[in-house]
Amino acid sequence: MKKLLPLSLIILFCILIGTAANSLAQDNKFTGVKICSACHKGQKGNMIYDKWLKTKHAEAYKTLENEKSKELAKKKGLKNPPTEADECLKCHATGYFEKDRQLASNKKEDGVTCEACHGPGSAYKSSHGKEKKEDGIKKGLIIGSGEEKICKKCHNSESPTFAGFNYKKDWEKIKH
């Protein structure tokens, strides 16, 4: 019995630490691409927003409006059109894994935005960058590069159009 007490305390401590870290991430709200673009566009912002605009992520929601998507939704027996179906929005619009974390400035029509990879930005939006990177990370910023698991939340066989995923090759299309 005495041996179980220290083990129980260690387990309880790990649960509390995990809960605190998870709570921070859940407290952050999605702010939307408009907030990110305020600093991350043009030369000063290293053209990050401009690069994103040229990716398929920026057009992800729009693909739900085409006839192929409508046919796929019907074939899958979805109750809603693809532009309204949670099954589609969870990967074609940022933040629709957890609708309760939405803010008005986060629009599904913006597609797969910065926060899909970097996490909801309300807590770190004004405290990250070269000099404040660690502060941003403490507040929920996910750096993103080298995080194949983030990509595989959507790029997986659950998608009816999945044709394989090669992280190294596909990262080259969006890296910044």
**Nearest alpha-carbon partner for 162 in 154, 170, 150:** 154
What CATH fold (topology level) applies to the domain 30-174? Flavocytochrome C3; Chain A, domain 2 (1.10.1130)
Per-residue pLDDT of 114-141, as tens digits, reads 999 999 999 999 888 777 889 999 999 9
**CA distance linking residue 12 with residue 165, whole number of Å:** 38
- DSSP-derived letter for residue 174 is H
pTM value is 0.78
Per-residue pLDDT of 16-69, as tens digits, reads 444 444 444 557 888 999 999 999 988 776 789 999 999 999 999 999 999 999
Ordered by start, the domain boundaries in the chain are: 30-174
Quote the Cα angle for 31-93-70, to 5°.
155
Per-residue pLDDT of 73-96, as tens digits, reads 999 999 999 999 999 999 999 988
